[in-house]
Chain A
Amino acid sequence: MLTLAIESSCDETSCGVIKDGREVLSNIISSQIDIHRRFGGVVPEIASRKHVESINLIIQEALDEAKVGFNDIDFISVTQGPGLVGALLVGLSAAKSIAYGLNIPLVGVNHIEGHVCANYIEHKDLKPPFVCLIVSGGHTYLIDVEDYNSYTLYGRTRDDAAGEAFDKVARAMGLPYPGGPFIDSLASKGNKEKIEFPRVFLDDKTYDFSFSGLKTAVLNYLNGAKQRGEEIVLEDVAAGFQQAVLDVLVEKSFRLSRELGRDKIVIAGGVAANKGLREMMETRGIKNNIGIFYPSPRLCTDNAAMIGSAGYYNYINGKTSPLDLKVMPNLSFLD
């Protein structure tokens, strides 16, 4: 079954064609598209979030690359939320028109669920149940995936998302944007024990996260050192900060998998590309006999393929959407 998937929840517009929920025939992301081709020299500016301007172009690129036409598509998958209303509406409007025009089903998808499903694309044999840690600039969730359409939310951030903490600390350290990969790289060269930053676990029972205190601690450290004229060793700051984040992420993920008796932990979202996180998870996974899974970097960011995968698993379970589907900027697993 082929789905045409559309994702436009925030910065990017992305379209892709996905087969049977796992095989990516195309996955076009607006900021990465070479639009020069289509305009043969006259390049209009397709800035980020110019969704209306670019969506049909990107849909066509997705079809072309997949070597299919509209008539080969069996159903449309589209992000319903969470995200920016103005952005979501564009994807949703296009999806509805196409679904109605072709007289094929429409499947509204939860963007967070999309991140989980990115792993089904990366790992063809991965099946639920597993614990999933979703960490990005905008989201931090710890969930249990019991079955393809059965999710339970156990933990979430109460203030800053993990990816955001990386980005802001990086900025305070004078690193370029996006800061996450820079911190990751510096951390591997630094001494993570040199500077002790707080690991915020909150109370014993909760799986929730909090990173704003850690961010403040790093900022205070940097300010203080600057004022005292002390040398700041960026590698050590990065290593100390990153370890403080990872300790909490990894500990809570393993604790949940232990509590639920899961033998797999799956990571998703932009921070899943962090090498330090992957290594720490894998090392502990080997010790505890827990399989660790994460997507390739391209599938960690917002993209349509993951929406197509989530769409597929909704569709085969009979979950389709009506043509008066609303965007839901606050959609969460609780809905």
Chain B
Amino acid sequence: MIIRIDGIDETNKFGEKLGSLLQKGDIICLNGDLGAGKTTLSKAIGKGLLVEDYITSPTFTLINEYKGRLPLYHFDVYRLENGEELFDLGIEDYFYGDGVCLIEWAENIQDELPRDRLELWIFRGEADNKRVIEIKAFGNRYDSLVGELKR
């Protein structure tokens, strides 16, 4: 599924819709270059999940935890060098835990990701505020999630 975004309002709309559809155990991977808008999209997803707190970039904190309709675990693995470092964060407990995991720069840890997940690849469009988001679903749960997004 491919989505073309023109401006931040559309990013917010898409993100909020996705957030509202998420269930316990969902894993959403956000990929894209510096400045592509991963954290911006994360904020919108958080809003859709009814998180009231400000969602800020986890680049340095590595994992931020929020309470929404479900617990939201917001990761940024930009600073990690290998799978070992990831394991040392206790990431398995989050992946198989009680909330939703949102992972920025997930492409850096491709081998460590659970087999079933949703991947969002954010590319810049022709203008500065345009984006193209490519959505890839892995697993039944995410196939149906994409189905719901299309409606």
Contacts of B57 in A (CB 8 A): 159-161, 164, 212
Known: A84-B89, A85-B90, A215-B35. A329 touches B56 (CB 8 A): no
Contacts of B66 in A (CB 8 A): 330
Give the contacts of A49-75 with B (CB-CB under 8 A). Answer: 49-50
B62 in contact with A84 (CB, 8 Å) = yes
The size class of the interface chain B forms with chain A is 20 to 34
The size class of the interface chain A forms with chain B is 20 to 34
A164 in contact with B65 (CB, 8 Å) = no
A86 in contact with B90 (CB, 8 Å) = yes
Q: Is the interface of B mostly helix, strand, loop or mixed?
A: loop
- Binary per-residue interface labels of chain B (38-79) against chain A in the complex, 1 for a CB within 8 Å, 0 otherwise: 011001000000000110110111111110000000000000
- Binary per-residue interface labels of chain A (72-112) against chain B in the complex, 1 for a CB within 8 Å, 0 otherwise: 00000000001111100000000000000000000000000
A194 within 8 A of B: no
* The one of B35, B40, B60, B62 that contacts A219, using a Cβ cutoff of 8 Å: B35
B88 within 8 A of A: yes
B111 within 8 A of A: no
Give the contacts of A146-180 with B (CB-CB under 8 A). Answer: 156-161, 163-164, 167-168, 171-172
Known: A161-B56, A171-B34. A212 touches B88 (CB 8 A): no
Known: A158-B56, A160-B56. A83 touches B39 (CB 8 A): no
* The one of B56, B62, B64, B65 that contacts A157, using a Cβ cutoff of 8 Å: B56
Residue of B nearest to A171 (CB): B34
B35 in contact with A220 (CB, 8 Å) = yes
B35 in contact with A49 (CB, 8 Å) = no
A289 within 8 A of B: no
B9 within 8 A of A: no
B60 in contact with A164 (CB, 8 Å) = yes
- 7 A–B pairs (Cβ distance < 8 Å), ordered by A: A10-B60, A10-B61, A47-B85, A49-B88, A157-B56, A168-B35, A330-B66
Interface residues of B (CB under 8 A from A): 34-35, 39-40, 43, 53-54, 56-57, 59-66, 84-85, 88-90, 128
